[in-house]
Structure 1
C-alpha cells in the first residue's frame, strides 16, 4: 500500500481535505497565504505540526519511498517552485514576525531531507536575497532557524 504523503506528492493521492497536488499548486497567492493546512502535505516533516494538529507525519519508510520515486520528487520540486514564486512575488512575509517564517523553515527542512541540500540551499539563498533587498526586516531568530534547517544532518 502506498503511503498517503507519497501518493499525494506523486499526484496520485489526496490530502486530508481531498485536494490533489495539482489543486494545491493552482492556488493563487492569496489562497496560499490564507490556507494553512496544505504546507504539511507539500513539505512533510518527521515531527507533528504544532500549527495544524492531525497533519501527516513523515515516516522513514515513506521518506525513502519519496526519495526513490522520480514522480514524487518532481511533485515536490513543483511545490518548491510554486512556493519560491510566492515568496518572490509577495511582500507580506517581509516583516519582523510572520507565520510564513515557520513555513520557510519547514520547506527548507523537507527539501533538504527529500531532495538534497543543494536544492534547499538555492531556495534559502533566494529568500535571503529577497529579505536583504527589502532592508532585512525578518527577525534574526527566524534567519537562524532557516540556517539551522539547511545545515542539519
Structure 2
C-alpha cells in the first residue's frame, strides 16, 4: 500500500504544505535555503525529524513502495540532482556549522536506504568536491556524520 511519502516522490501526491514534487524541484536556490519543511518529504527517514516536528516518518511499507516504483525512484533521483546543484552553486553552507550539514546527512541516509550505496556515494562525492575546493571549511563532526551515513 502506498502512503503519502511514496505518492509525493512518485509525483502523484502532495507534501504537508500542499506542494507536489515538481513544485519543490522548481525552487530557486534562495527558496531551498530558506524553506525548511520540504527536505523531509524529498529524503524521508525512518526516524522523526527533530528540526521539523510533525514531518512524515518513513514506514517500512513506504520504503518498499519507493524502492519498487520506478516513478518514485525517479522522483528521489530528481530531488538528489536538484540538491546537488544547490550545493554546487551556492557557498553559504561552506562554513564550519550550517543547517545544510544536517540536510546532507539526511540526503545521504535516504539515498543509501532507498536508492542504494552508489547513489549515496555519488552525492557524497559531489558535496566533497565543493568542500575540498573551498579549503575544507566544514567541521569534523559533520564530515564524520556524512561518512557514517554512507554505511
TM over 0.5: yes
**Corresponding residue for residue 144 of structure 2:** 144
Alignment of 1:83-94 (within 5 A): 83-94=83-94
* 1:48 correspondence with 2:53: no
CA RMSD of aligned residues (A): 0.6
CA distance in 1, matches of 2:8, 2:69: 12
Shift of 1:128: 1.0
Q: How does 1:81-120 map to 2 (within 5 A)?
A: 81-120=81-120
Following TM superposition, the consecutive aligned residue runs of length 4 or more in structure 1 with deviations greater than 3 angstroms are none
The reply on whether 1:131 has 2:136 as its aligned counterpart is no
**Residue in 1 aligned with 2:59?**
59
What is the CA distance between 1:2 and its match in structure 2? 2.5
Where do 5+ consecutive residues of structure 1 fail to align? none
Please give the per-residue CA displacement for 1:30-64, whole angstroms capped at 9, x wherever unaligned: 00000000000000000000000000000111100
1:11 and 1:149 map into 2 onto residues whose CA distance is: 26
Question: How far does residue 129 in structure 1 lie from its aligned partner after superposition?
Answer: 1.3
* Displacement after TM superposition at 1:126 (Å): 1.2
The gaps in structure 2 that reach 5 residues or longer are none
Question: Paired residue for 2:39?
Answer: 39
Q: CA deviation at 1:101?
A: 0.1
**What's the TM-score, normalizing by structure 1?**
0.98
